[in-house]
Structure 1
Amino acid sequence: MEGLVGRARELAGGGRRGHGAGGQRRVLGIAGPPGAGKSTLAERLADRLDGLAVLVPMDGFHLAQAELERLGRADRKGAPDTFDAAGYAALLARLRAPEPGVTVYAPAFDRALEEPVAGSIPVPPDVPLVITEGNYLLHDEGPWAAVRPLLDEVWYLDLDDRHRVPRLVARHVHFGKAPAHAERWVTDSDEANARVVARGRDRADLVVRMS
């Protein structure tokens, strides 16, 4: 953890220097399959950086449940085409180039509601680093291909499936799914998405072995 904090702090330092010279803010991406620990690591990094970073998760760009149902994609929630990938890329581009005096508001995802919530995360212009985490930061198909060039570094979290899958089932149960439903959802949906995510592993700057 100390090495990762140090690496993120170096990125923040570069962003502070760039911002002071009229340049760009730095953006660190944390990618990996469902249940690998992305949100936990991203939150810990942001906490340890003492105000130098703001966390903006990709999950804020989930399409609303009503829209997923209209499109016939509700049973695949979490797949690449169930997000507003172009909107996410547009936000990243805006975050990379902060305007003096302008706070950018990013959406969050409320797991209790299973819905995105707009305007939830303020990103002040003087914060030198944005940390963003999500499944598809390294995905190179369709509008997702625009995301990777907007990230200064991407770390890929690698966790053995023997630990990752039970953790993922437990998370679904914690947020309201019955155990049998949670297991089916992980098998039929999350693991299909995990295979898509894994194809981007070689495009990461750093692979972090999780335990």
Structure 2
Amino acid sequence: MIPSIDQINERILLGAEGRARYIVALAGPPGAGKSFRSAWLARTLNERCPGSAAVVPMDGYHYDNAVLEPRGLLAVKGAPDTFDVEGLRQDLVRLKRADGDVAVPVFDRPLDLARAGGRVISKSHRILIVEGNYLLLDEGPWPALRRDFDLTLFLDVDDDVLEQRLIERWLGMGQDHAGAIAKARDKDMLNARLIKACSVSADIDWR
């Protein structure tokens, strides 16, 4: 049975009761709707408990193009090894302590770069929705992140739907039709299949 937003909110609020900080990981392939769902979760939680929830996007931890290019990774930007996983892990440790403000980076998709200190998480944000592709990936350095997650969610969307969404995303960013198809199929969908095949099971599968 697919849980409703209200049921997920209830579980989060129950888990967060009496705790200074409760961290929810929302993972899934590119194009699954993580940004929309995480914002929706935060908004509905804040409607019930004003000012309690905030979103921390994993995309803010993209390495800059100036780092990726000399490493030969610019063409595969968005793959697991193009992120500063250790930087995200260190910030999760700081966020978990809930003892002061923590500035986190936010990715600017139109400009294709991360903005340092783009969002400030305050002590009043007791519930954090961390959203990103590889949060549950069971390879490389990614498993170390899971120790700080109190609840995990996974968005699973059929490949044909993902591909169409990703093509539309690239078109919206100015790619021509052939370029949009190539980027969706030859880059994003490779990452999507990796995420689906190599992520650990989440506490909640959310479609």
What TM-score does the superposition give when structure 2 sets the normalisation length? 0.91
* Cα distance, 1:9 vs structure 2: 4.6
Contact 1:154/1:204, CA 8 A, preserved across alignment: yes
1:26 aligns with one of 22, 29, 32: 22
Indicate the residue corresponding to 2:155 in structure 1.
157
Change (3 A) 1:97 1:15: farther
Question: Secondary structure of 1:48's partner?
Answer: helix
Q: Cα distance, 1:58 vs. partner?
A: 0.3
Measured after TM superposition, the shift of residue 10 of structure 1 is: 3.8
1:142 aligns with 2:143: no
Tell me how far apart the structure 1 counterparts of residues 70 and 89 of structure 2 sit (CA, whole Å): 24
Which residue in the other structure is 2:115 paired with?
A: 117
Task: Determine the structure 2 residue equivalent to 1:41.
Answer: 37
Question: Residue 42 of structure 1 aligns to which amino acid in structure 2?
Answer: S
Provide the aligned length of Structure 1 versus Structure 2.
Answer: 202
Contact map agreement 2:85 2:141 (CA 8 A) in 1: yes
1:192 to 190, 193, 203: 190
Where does the alignment leave 5 or more consecutive residues of structure 2 unmatched? none
**What amino acid is aligned across from residue 171 of structure 1 in structure 2?**
R
Structure 2 counterparts to residues 1-211 of structure 1, below 5 A: 3-19=4-20, 25-50=21-46, 51-99=51-99, 102-209=100-207
| Aligned residues of 2:39 and 2:55 also touching (Cα < 8 A) | yes
Q: Is the 8 A contact 1:12 1:128 kept in 2?
A: no
Contact 1:156–1:204 (Cα < 8 Å) also in 2 = yes
Partners of 2:25 and 2:135 within 8 A in 1 = yes
Q: Distance in 2 between matches of 1:67 and 1:160?
A: 33
Q: State how far apart, in whole Å, the 2-side matches of 1:154 and 1:206 are.
A: 6
Question: 1:125 aligns to what SS in structure 2?
Answer: coil
Contact persistence 2:22–2:128 (CA under 8 A): yes
Aligned partners of 1:113 and 1:170: how far apart in 2?
18
Question: Which residue identity does 2:23 align to in structure 1?
Answer: V
Q: Relative to structure 1, is the Cα distance of residues 13 and 206 closer, same or farther in structure 2, using a 3 angstrom cutoff?
A: closer
Note the residue ranges of structure 1 that are not aligned, 5 or more in a row.
Answer: 20-24
